[in-house]
Chain A
């Protein structure tokens, strides 16, 4: 199992390539949309690149549950509703600490969240192999 730092470094390289940003911009706290300028199509590109970098499969909607964000029940005025926050916490347990009602959508996805997702994914894979 790679360490969290090793995962971060690979995620950082992936985002530098996918979003054409400088490595120093890709901090753990950086938000993909707000800070790094990612658009919705970049999420697909990022998923492809992460799959390759970590040799994993990321099913649609697992890392970026975009269909939740398109639902007016869950997002109003660009912010998560209480129901939206609950739904996302259920879908993204690795990011539960960060998700809360009123969180702006552009601040939702962070670099650290991707690191946590990859870490939980690799843990699951390691567990299923034992």
Chain B
């Protein structure tokens, strides 16, 4: 399994805003344990989806040169559950950006229903330091994310009359 918790980027405005979606499905093994007879998406993975959407926003600002690490959830509130069949929309706005770190604010929704709100602090490491600490896992994850962006560009063009803005 790949550690990708967003299925597609729907809108991307560099250094400003990103919107992505995640489809919750019973094919995800963990839902059968969380919880038996009542599958709900773990809130930690909702946060991960927000962080991946935000991480792309932060990483893109520096040309994906380094490693963006979820460092801290300074604020998070969960309001509701995401169930199999739901499509979650993650919306993230960049609040602060510096070479050593960044802050984003985001929401997760299913339709109009608010699932979660969070403020996330990221640390940024240069590529050399990142490779020394996490080795191949860093370059593999980075490649998965870059592939996901490319797939998003293709699939949004295929399914929408107008392609998602990936400025």
The majority secondary structure among interface residues of chain B is: strand
Residue pair A60, B100 in contact (C-beta under 8 Å) = yes
Residue pair B121, A41 in contact (C-beta under 8 Å) = yes
What is the chain A residue whose CB lies nearest that of B100?
A: A60
A17 and B74 CA atoms in complex are apart in Å by 8
- B94-128 vs A, CB cutoff 8 Å, 1 = contact: the mask equals 00101111010000000000000000010100000
Q: How many A-B residue pairs have CB under 8 A?
A: 24
A42 and B71 CA atoms in complex are apart in Å by 9
- Chain B interface size band reads 10 to 19
Residue pair B121, A60 in contact (C-beta under 8 Å) = no
- Chain A interface size band reads under 10
Q: Confirm or deny: B72 has a beta carbon within 8 angstroms of a beta carbon on chain A.
A: yes
Most chain A beta-carbon contacts within 10 A, residue among B72, B74, B100: B74
A42 and B72 CA atoms in complex are apart in Å by 8
Residue pair B74, A60 in contact (C-beta under 8 Å) = no
Residue pair B100, A45 in contact (C-beta under 8 Å) = no
A18 and B74 CA atoms in complex are apart in Å by 7
| A-to-B contact residues, CB < 8 Å | 17-18, 41-42, 44-45, 48, 60
| B-to-A contact residues, CB < 8 Å | 71-72, 74, 96, 98-101, 103, 121, 123
Question: Could you list 17 A-B pairs, sorted by A, with CB under 8 Å?
Answer: A17-B74, A18-B74, A41-B72, A41-B101, A41-B123, A42-B72, A44-B71, A44-B101, A44-B121, A44-B123, A45-B72, A45-B74, A45-B103, A45-B121, A48-B103, A48-B121, A60-B100
